[in-house]
Structure formats: structure tokens, C-alpha cells
Amino acid sequence: MSAPVKPAAPATDFVAVVPARLASTRLPNKPLVDLAGKPMVVRVAERARESGARQVVVATDAQSVFDAVAAYGFDVRLTRADHPTGTDRLAEVAEQLGWPDDTIVVNVQGDEPLIDPLLVQAVAAHLAAHPECALATAAHPIHANDEIFNPNVVKVVLDARGRALYFSRAPIPWARDAWKAGLTQTDSLPAPETPIYRHIGLYAYRASFLRSYPTLAQAPIEMAESLEQLRAMWHGERIAVLLTNDIPLPGVDTPEDLTRVRALLGA
């Protein structure tokens, strides 16, 4: 697989944080697994650096991850081990580093070693272009039946301004007249008139929102769907959604994912 072209210096000023929690139920020591001779978290940090972020910080709860990242010269911070979400971990880093409220902070998840640097840059710019929003993220159209009905594929519905109305693991919006009752992922799926968008798990935040996030009570819809972005929506925050036709390369969550990504890297 060819290396991504490093983008020109972005017009949007932003920082990138890579949260890297050591514990993983499906892939032990996930941040430190080897990808073509480097720990995965370092591969992610390199992608974040290629995005043009003026500062890249790895945030971890483990000394072993800290040491591995520091050996490659990246800025790395130890954070508490009891953070329930990656967003909470970013909030601690924002406090540690004292970023001003208007700082745009992009969360580049630590298990996305193939993330496109241009997408990181674009999501940061999208938030800058939407001052009424506290967050920005991305999505792309999906058409495959199995993905629409797969609860691990998160869907998002947008309003007329391209802001999120709702995120769900369910197939939304439901095309009442196109899809018969009892439809399953093995049935033939007529194309609905309304596009269905798959959420890409990449976020940009304003530092002011990050500071407030840990004080927000969990939302019933967040707990039901197990989607932390619904907490922000429940409390009235707006999320701008950047639409792209490009399907992101796979992340790493299981041993099977690791094998696939190693093949893509030629490792």
C-alpha cells in the first residue's frame, strides 16, 4: 500500500490527540501490537502528524505505552486509568496543557493506523466552518444490505444544514414504503429515496466543550445505544457532519482486523 501524501499546511489551526488505553478485551495490549516494525499507537501518531496538526499528543493510562511512544519522539501524557470514554481522556489532556477554549482538538483514535491524514485535517476545518457547533465528525453513504443492518455499523441522520439529528446502531432512516415489514439483511434491499450514512468515528471538538463533557450526566439514549456522542446531543450540543464518498480503511479491534491491516501495510 502506498504511503499517503503529506498535505500542505492546513488553513485551520488544530491539535490532535491520540487516546491509547492499554486494556482491550478482544486484542490484549492493542496500542503496542507490532505493525511493520512499529507499535500501532506510533503508526497512528504518525498519521496525525501528517495531517498538519500543529501539535500531536498521545494520551495513555499505561507506563508501557508512554515509554514506547516517547522512544519515537512524540509528546505523550499519562492520564487517569478510570476514564469511561476516550473523550474524557481528551478532556484531561486539554486541562493538563491549558489549551484556550477556542482550540480545535481532533480525536484520532488509537486503533486507526490507516486513518487518512487529509480526513483528519478536513474534519478540523469543518468544525472551524461551523461556529454554532461544539463538535464535528464525518460520514459516508452506505448501500450494502449487511452494513445497513449491522449494529456495529453506526448510522447518522442529518438535518438540512448537515448537522446530526441522531446516531443509531439501527437502520435509520427507515424507508417505510421501500422496505417491507420484517425485512432482514438477507433480503433484497430496494434503494431508499433518502441516503443512509455510515458514521466515521473521527471527532473534532472545541476545547471549551471538552472541559464541560466530564460534567455532563450520561444520557439514556447514550446508554441504550452505547454511543458517547449521544450524550452531547442529549444536552443540546450540535454536531456538524462532513460528508465524504471515501470509505475509510479498516481500524484494528480484533485479531482478524490486525491480520488485515498488516497485509495492507505489507507487514
pLDDT in tens, 149-178: 889 899 999 999 999 999 999 999 987 777
**Could you read off the pLDDT of 1-55 as tens digits, one per residue?**
333 334 444 568 999 999 998 877 678 888 999 998 999 999 999 999 999 999 9
Residue 38: per-residue pLDDT = 93
CA separation for the pair 128, 105 (Å, rounded): 11
**Could you read off the pLDDT of 179-233 as tens digits, one per residue?**
766 666 566 665 666 889 999 999 999 999 999 998 999 999 999 999 999 999 9
Residue 4 lies in a domain: no
* Grid coordinates belonging to 231: 450524550
Residue 3 DSSP one-character state: P
Is residue 261 a contact partner of residue 252, using CB atoms and an 8 Å limit?
A: yes
* Grid coordinates belonging to 35: 505493525
What's the Cα-to-Cα distance from 42 to each of 45, 77, 83, 109, 209, rounded to whole Å? 5, 14, 21, 12, 27
Give the three-class secondary structure for 216. Answer: coil
**Could you read off the pLDDT of 97-151 as tens digits, one per residue?**
999 999 999 999 989 999 999 999 999 999 999 999 999 999 999 988 888 888 9
Q: Domain range for residue 76?
A: 14-265
Residue 9 lies in a domain: no
CA separation for the pair 211, 222 (Å, rounded): 19
Residue 8 lies in a domain: no
Residue 200 lies in a domain: yes
Residue 2 lies in a domain: no
Cα of 187 vs its chain's centroid, Å: 31
Q: In terms of DSSP bridges, do strands 38-39 and 164-168 run parallel, antiparallel, or are they unpaired?
A: unpaired
CA separation for the pair 249, 265 (Å, rounded): 11
One-letter amino acid of 249: L
Residue 253: per-residue pLDDT = 81
One-letter amino acid of 6: K
Q: Report the number of distinct structural domains present in the chain.
A: 1
Q: Angle at which helices 40-50 and 63-70 pack, to 10 degrees?
A: 50
What's the Cα-to-Cα distance from 147 to each of 89, 197, 198, rounded to whole Å? 30, 10, 9
Give 143's contacts (C-beta < 8 A, 6+ positions apart): 191, 196
Give the three-class secondary structure for 59. Answer: strand
Residue 195 lies in a domain: yes
**Could you read off the pLDDT of 55-76 as tens digits, one per residue?**
999 999 999 999 999 999 999 9
Residue 7 lies in a domain: no
Q: Rounded to 5, what percent of the chain is helix, strand, coil?
A: 30, 20, 50
Looking up residue 228, the CATH number of its domain turns out to be 3.90.550.10
Residue 182 lies in a domain: yes
